[in-house]
Amino acid sequence: MRLEEVKWAAYLPYDRGTESEDYEREFIIQLKLCILGTTTRQTQLTIEDLSLDWRKLYNLVKALTFPEQWQDNLIQNRSKLKHVVELICAVNRYFPPSAAREVLTELLPHVQFNSMDWQLLNVQMINLFMPTAAPPESYSVSEEDKPERWLPTIFSLWSFNLRISGYDAYFMNLVTCLAIEQKGRFKFTNQQIRFAFASGLHFFNLPVARGTALLTRS
């Protein structure tokens, strides 16, 4: 299959399927398998070839997490969300770098530290939707969209560590993905490295030296 055909074989199901009002579990599973079946076989496919709108999956997550009809079966929705999350993780590399600003603009207003109701959910969605893959060198990325610009915001959120189960894990996962997928093009500051290391020690209930985890919230 030619690259152009592969692109459309992945783009069309994503674009049309995520707009469907059919959120039945089997439909979501088939949508996931259809898109993953194309993208996982074509590792040469990059953001230059295929750019996906992160909001389509974000809206699907919202529809399943905050159903209009509260009598909807929440247990079934959790099962559906599992497959949606797997799809997000697989196609994150096709979210354009500009999506980083859009994700933060959308989700930061909902991260309120005086309300614990949906705190962890919003942090999890930041972890899922922030684009971490390095685009090809020929792909033009504005200075505003480079990780150097938005990563301090991530560490600022992380430094408010609420000691909720999973809070550290989501940020650690995001930073780990960024470190791996940037392929050496991006360097963390020494302060960020110390903070991530200290958070890892905290996560495993290991002692942390005083001052190791200091990070300014600017």
Tell me: the pLDDT tens digits for 55-66?
999 998 988 887
Residue 97: per-residue pLDDT: 95
pTM for the full model?
0.84
**H-only helix segments in the chain:** 3-17, 25-39, 54-65, 74-91, 99-107, 119-129, 147-158, 167-181, 190-203
Find where tokens 């030296």 sit: 209
What's the CA gap between 94 and 99, in Å, rounded? 10
From residue 56, alpha-carbon distances to 16, 17, 93, 146, 170 in Å are 10, 9, 15, 23, 22
Residue 217: per-residue pLDDT: 34
Sign of the Cα pseudo-torsion (29, 30, 33, 36, in order): negative
Question: Hey, how many other C-beta atoms are within 10 angstroms of the C-beta on 19?
Answer: 10
Dump pLDDT digits (tens) for 85-112: 999 998 999 999 999 999 999 999 888 7
Residue 140: per-residue pLDDT: 92
Low-confidence ranges of the chain (pLDDT < 70): 1-3, 20-23, 41-43, 67-76, 113-118, 161-165, 208-218
Question: Hey, how many other C-beta atoms are within 10 angstroms of the C-beta on 198?
Answer: 18
